[in-house]
Structure 1
Amino acid sequence: MNKFVWLGLALISGMVLPIQASLNAKVGKVLESGVAASLLSFVVGGLSLVMYIVFSSETINTQAFKSIPALGWIAGLLGAFYVTIVIFTIPRIGPALTFSLIVAGQMIVALILEHFNLLVAQQHSINLPRILGMLLIIGGVILIRKF
């Protein structure tokens, strides 16, 4: 696929996160449990993926699961942590501040991962333009928090 398609898909996926999180927070309020709302989100997502696999030409090499490194299994735990924390956070500080902090946190860790070539496809050193970009993101968080 064209690089611009991937850029667009990344942008769209970022746009749906606050919607998903806000809906999850509403479900958490109805269920009176953020953890139950998170579980429901993962069950519905998991069932959606199963349906996709069943009705598409996608195949899964079940033998490959044996070669997943131990750290690979932590991704599911991190996903559960993320979704659950967002469900609890949005009603308390709002989606704009929640996601501005999430983006800032993502960028800080992404820069570190790329700099030290950890878990990434390509190494990119931290340099002045990247530091300035990060400072702009942090400035945005401060503005969203203040106003």
Structure 2
Amino acid sequence: MANLYLLSLVAVIGGIAVALQAQLMGLLDKQIGTLESVFITYGSGGLLIGLVILYLRGGNLSLWQSVPWYAFLSGVIGLIIVASIGFSVPRLGLVTAFTLMVAAQFIVASVLDHYGFLGAEIRQLNLQKVLGMLTVLVGVWLTVRS
């Protein structure tokens, strides 16, 4: 159970970071543009993680060849995520933009889990999860229409 609490805490911290990053990226987008804000976001993050990897003497980078080719699409998909956040947040607001994004994440994640796509551990959909997703969709409708 302690492991669940730690994992939940990490997820909550990640959620807080995403909301803060989105607002800051929205500011960048309004001032300098979407592509430029993506460049700054990835560039500053890349520089920091590069320094961490240098400090750790390369970490596990030598194992990159054992990774499936499609895993490297995560960087490209990350660009789409960062650009869509930077573009949509200043235009829709944090709540509406994230409501739409999180709902899309729930739906795609449930398909990935259910079928085990892209190396996901299979976690079958059940009635409780479907009802949860329907509840989220009602929340999306209520949030977006206001």
Give the number of equivalent residue pairs: 145
Distance 1:5 1:62 in 2: 27
Distance 1:8 1:61 in 2: 26
Q: Which amino acid aligns with 1:14?
A: G
1:55-108: per-residue Cα shift (whole Å, max 9, x none)? 4x4742333122322201111000001100111111111110110111100100
Q: Which amino acid aligns with 1:24?
A: M
Distance 2:88 2:102 in 1: 14
**Match of 1:123, SS?**
coil
- Structure-2 residue corresponding to 1:115: 114
Contact 1:114 1:120 in 2 (8 A): no
Query: What are structure 2's unaligned runs of at least 5 residues?
Result: none
Query: What are structure 1's unaligned runs of at least 5 residues?
Result: none
Displacement of 1:120? 4.4
- Structure-2 residue corresponding to 1:3: 4
1:35 matches 2:35: yes
- Which has a greater percent of helix? 2
Go from structure 1 to structure 2 and tell me whether the alpha carbon gap of 1:58 and 1:123 turns closer, same or farther (over 3 Å shift): farther
Distance 2:11 2:95 in 1: 19
**Match of 1:15, SS?**
helix
Over the matched positions of the two proteins, sequence identity in percent amounts to 30
**Match of 1:36, SS?**
helix
**Match of 1:124, SS?**
coil
**Match of 1:2, SS?**
helix
Q: If the length of structure 2 is used for normalisation, what is the TM-score?
A: 0.90
Distance 2:68 2:120 in 1: 16
Deviating beyond 4 angstroms after TM superposition, the runs of 4 or more aligned structure 1 residues are none
